[in-house]
Amino acid sequence: MGKRWSCKATGENLLAQAKEKVTALNERGVEPHLAVVLVGEDPASKVYVSNKIRTCESLGIKSTFHKLEADTDTDSLLSVVDELNGDNAVHGILVQLPLPKQVDESRIIAAINPDKDVDGFHPVNVGRLSLGEPGLFPCTPMGVIALLRDSGHGLSGKHAVVIGRSNIVGKPMAQLLLKENCTVSIIHSRTQNPADLCRQADIVVAAVGRPGLVDAAWLKPGALVVDVGINEITDSEQARKLIPSESKKMKSFREKGRVLYGDVNYFSCLETAELVTPVPGGIGRLTIAHLMVNCVVAAELQNPST
Ligand SMILES: NC(=O)C1=CN([C@@H]2O[C@H](COP(=O)(O)OP(=O)(O)OC[C@H]3O[C@@H](n4cnc5c(N)ncnc54)[C@H](OP(=O)(O)O)[C@@H]3O)[C@@H](O)[C@H]2O)C=CC1
Ligand SMILES: Nc1nc(=O)c2c([nH]1)NC[C@@H]1CN(c3ccc(C(=O)N[C@@H](CCC(=O)O)C(=O)O)cc3)C=[N+]21
């Protein structure tokens, strides 16, 4: 029987690292500053953005919030990005995704100064990651690597299977695992017999957006399972399939009619895995903690000490 993989200590470590760097920057007269841009009113995005701003405040990182109308077009958003690029007091720029469909997302990402790109989504940072050069790299995969390193299980030579190949999670995750000397396989929507491949993994990272896709039948006994997925379940049939009736999670579903659930069938996987990260309270926290690290790294890049 496996265990809940707590992400708390790793989150605290990342925040402590960021805090230490904030203090050092302050001593040199630099106040790290993150600008967050949100277009429209997506409720989930609003929750994430307010989590980010609250965490900045707790560490002494200045944050400014730029809220734009849902009908903003590419050119107006580009001019906001240009202004933030040109403002020497702003060290990090985060444009919350997804953007409304009339906005050309890749043009926006490419317009951000790569040294202010705290999401690590700019083509220059993607290139740096793939070449093994220093740069700013995506927060969620970096948080996962921090968790795996802290676990003390060792990464070198392990078979890691990443499920999902998005530019923001799956692909950079695979690159970072490769850099840690894992043997990496990537499963996506066209993969044949995904469960058979996944059963060969020592480490599984699920970033799919399908609640409970990975269950015990996908796992080798003793696998380490990282659940990046954040899905909202509102259907009681689906809830009954994925959540034991007597659990706290089911109680919460009955009360609120909704519950957050990962891409991993948590209760099933606990029977076969060694460790499984929870949702919520798992990788989401590490994403925000690593964003803080990226903000101070960005401030350092723009204020070299020598
Ligand atoms: N914890 C956190 O901080 C974060 C959590 N998330 C969550 O992680 C999840 C993934 O996000 P994101 O990467 O942006 O999602 P995307 O929708 O961009 O990508 C999903 C990936 O999963 C693959 N996929 C879809 N269905 C299947 C399937 N049945 N079997 C195998 N692969 C499949 C897709 O394959 P294909 O490429 O072939 O279409 C695609 O590569 C979401 O739940 C999201 O909410 C995201 C960011 C941060
Ligand atoms: N430019 C950009 N950068 C991002 O990093 C980015 C983005 N756009 N768009 C959306 C995704 C998603 N994401 C999350 C961040 C925090 C939690 C998080 O804090 N989750 C908590 C609670 C979530 C809740 O209560 O709803 C948890 O898992 O415990 C989740 C998901 C960042 N993303």
pLDDT tens-digit series, residues 70-112 = 999 999 999 999 999 999 999 999 999 999 999 999 999 999 9
* Amino acid 1: pLDDT: 86
Domain coverage including residue 101: 29-113
- Cα 284 to ligand 2 centroid, rounded to whole Å: 6
Q: Where a domain ends, among 97, 113, 129? A: 113
Whether the CB of 298 sits within 6 Å of ligand 1: no
CATH number at residue 69: 3.40.50.10860
* Amino acid 305: pLDDT: 85
Residue 145 in this model has a pLDDT that exceeds 80? yes
What is the best residue among 169, 171, 193, 294 to mutate for testing ligand 1's pocket, by most ligand atoms within 8 Å of CB?
169
264-292 tens-digit pLDDT: 999 999 999 999 999 999 999 999 999 99
Q: What is the mean pLDDT of residues 180-203?
A: 98
**243/179 same-domain check:** yes
> Is 6 among the domain residues?
no
CA dihedral over 277, 283, 284, 288, signed as positive or negative? positive
**254/151 same-domain check:** yes
**281/143 same-domain check:** yes
Where residue 118 falls among pLDDT bands split at 50, 70, 90?
very high
Please state the residue numbers annotated as binding site for NADP(+): 164-166, 230
Helix 8-27 / helix 139-150 crossing angle, nearest 10 deg: 110
Alpha carbon distance 257, 31 (integer Å): 43
* Amino acid 43: pLDDT: 87
- Cα 287 to ligand 2 centroid, rounded to whole Å: 7
- Cα 165 to ligand 1 centroid, rounded to whole Å: 7
Tell me the one-letter amino acid at 231: N
**260/180 same-domain check:** yes
DSSP state of 190: T
**164/94 same-domain check:** no
Contacts of 38 (CB under 8 A, 6+ apart): 45, 46, 49, 65, 66, 67, 68, 96
Question: SS3 for 95-145, per residue?
Answer: ECCCCCCCCCHHHHHHHCCHHHECCCCCHHHHHHHHHCCCCCCCHHHHHHH
> Is 109 among the domain residues?
yes
**95/193 same-domain check:** no
Q: What is the pTM of this model?
A: 0.97
* Amino acid 223: pLDDT: 98
Q: Where a domain ends, among 78, 113, 148? A: 113
**170/257 same-domain check:** yes
**104/170 same-domain check:** no
36-53 tens-digit pLDDT: 999 998 888 888 999 999
Alpha carbon distance 182, 156 (integer Å): 5
Whether the CB of 184 sits within 6 Å of ligand 2: no
> Is 3 among the domain residues?
no
* Amino acid 60: pLDDT: 97
Q: Where a domain ends, among 74, 96, 113? A: 113
Helices (H), the chain: 8-27, 43-59, 74-86, 105-111, 123-131, 139-150, 170-179, 194-198, 236-242, 248-256, 266-269, 283-302
CATH number at residue 149: 3.40.50.720
> How large is the ipTM?
0.96
**102/153 same-domain check:** no
What total number of domains does the chain contain? Answer: 2
Whether the CB of 169 sits within 6 Å of ligand 2: no
Where residue 306 falls among pLDDT bands split at 50, 70, 90?
confident
Residue 211 in this model has a pLDDT that exceeds 80? yes
